[in-house]
Structure 1
Amino acid sequence: MSADKAFDLLYAEFKQVSDASLWIVDENISTQAIPAATPLICAISNRLDIAQSLQRLGWDCSFNDYLLEAWPEKHFYNIFLRIPKEKAQAHYVINQAQRLLANGGSLYLSGLKQEGIKGFIERAGTLTSAPIQTWKADKQTWAGKITFDGTSAALLDDKSYRSLRQAPSDLTFSFWSKPGIFGWDKIDKGSELLIQHLKELTAGIDHIKSVLDIGCGYGYLSLHTAKQLNTQVTATDNNAAAILACQTNLEHYQLNGSAMADNCADNIKERFSLVICNPPFHSGFGVENDLTDRFLDSAAKHLTADGLAIFVVNLHIPLERKASRYFTLCETPVVTDHFKLVRLSQPKR
């Protein structure tokens, strides 16, 4: 049994699979409780770390931004989705399920009541005249089975999930972004604070020849840093949509940089003069305390001996205490009501 009962509801249905099926996986999953690979079920994830975990366990899993259009019509008999945080993403999958499911095939949705699972099941049910089946693990955890019968040509509003659009903007850039990227349609206040103080925090340092942005998202920090410091930026993220958007932004504004899919820069061997990071502390619907440590460890491993790392975090994150394990010098030169900028140097890695 996993820590997420909504996944357990789906896993129970895996045992009944007798034809080609698709499992759509995102960041909500706990990799500690993934069931054994099922030969008739292939998986797809927009998270590189999740895809790699599934592959190591024997699953046939691909990594991309849910390119469901790549499969022909009526290709699957079952599609499984534990609903994600991004409503547009869930609607996109439901819309594609109508095309991908063979006659009599079913879409299985699961999730928690407070996440809106009942609404998702009901909206999916409006696309078919076949009766909906629902069941639950407890009062909060529900699942639904929707069988599409071809009676509806309607689609749910998925915010044109597949398409990049110039969504958030500031006085310097209008960023290409899309649903499926964390904070895709806004400018993160913490990242904005870091850029406001970037010049002063790097003042007096004349050796910034290369920059690593760990967890780049659509590229806010990467673009501003490349422009302000006139330097080369390597941007990395484990989200497929984020890499697409960040690379598009770098190319659109003709900045010196590139984006690559990687999990906490694990596969990057180069060391950098500057590491910038606005680390996530949420994973799926929960909070992972070790995420900050993973980003600090990566920053230390990728920083030159005389380099500098700048982190922006929420005030409640004890970054300074955690950072002492990875860096000799740690200072907090900027503190606001909600965020702090932490300047790290002399890596111990």
Structure 2
Amino acid sequence: MLYYLMPSRDIRRNLATEQYLLDQDFDEPLVLFYIQEPCIIIGRNQNALEEIDQRFVRENNITLTRRLSGGGAVYDDLGNVSFSFVTKAGREDFGNFKAFTQPILQAIHELGATDATVSGRNDLMIDGKKFSGNAMYKKRGKLFSHGTLMLDVDLDVLPQALHVAKDKIESKGTKSVRSHVTNLRPYLAPAYQNLTTEEFRDELLKRLFDVDDLEQITEKQLVLKKEEEEAIDDLVATIYANDEWIYGEAPPYTLQRRRRYPSVGIIDARLKVVKGKIDALTFYGDYFGQKDSQELAEKLLGIDYQRQPLQKVLDTIQADDYFTHLSNEELLDLLVD
């Protein structure tokens, strides 16, 4: 396994670096670590304007961007460490968060937080509270599985910066965003209580490689060339700092069909129906999918907004490709029942 510690503290550049490395060929898997100044990262399928408090984000200089992977919006600051495993993928790997979080979880146990566990679809929890959310993205036989690790994040900012859906909060059995999340620092062993974010990152890395000193694995550290840095600059400009990518274009709609599924997440379908036919359709939500859900939406344009015509189209696809763990029947019920 190779590793790369991103020097940037800008989430847009860090996500661009991750995307660039996903597209490269390596003989070994990669593990990436990155730390960033205050930012909000929305999932690929989310509506940015509905996920954030725009005024608060602007007045507090919080960077907003969108990632390639699905899942929900997260807030990061310099008290958070993000990690990403980049590797080849089989179909069975997508959605298998336990496989990719297990090495991180083991390292956290060794640092003293022995009660940390995997919970739900994609969370790491301790004492009934979330300290890590995870997401995946797959492209041409490769994938990355990335996640956050809240060591010492400013939890007071979360409820002010993010609008978290009421049904998502209620599904966790909690009353607010603030009461649902926690930092890891209080749960670490005394010897690690005063670690800086960078020192915490390095302790995790040493345990992933089973070494006592990072000097023992310098040959495993990835170094980027100038032309690679320039390619990453282009990705920042054209994607991660591009308002068109971040905000997208929310079409007008006449119907909203929204449900939350325990193993899938929230799916929010916005439909515009003209003369009985689907004229516009956009899917929002914190779901994951191996294929872009907008490709499915385009297949349904011009179809009569009735169960039988819709079923005929859905019979030609697998809903699970677009919404991981969702059946075709559940998708049909979402759209028309």
TM-score by length of 1: 0.27
Higher relative contact order, chain-length normalized (CA < 8 Å, sep 6+): 2
Which of the two has higher C-alpha Rg?
1
The answer to which structure has the higher helix fraction is 2
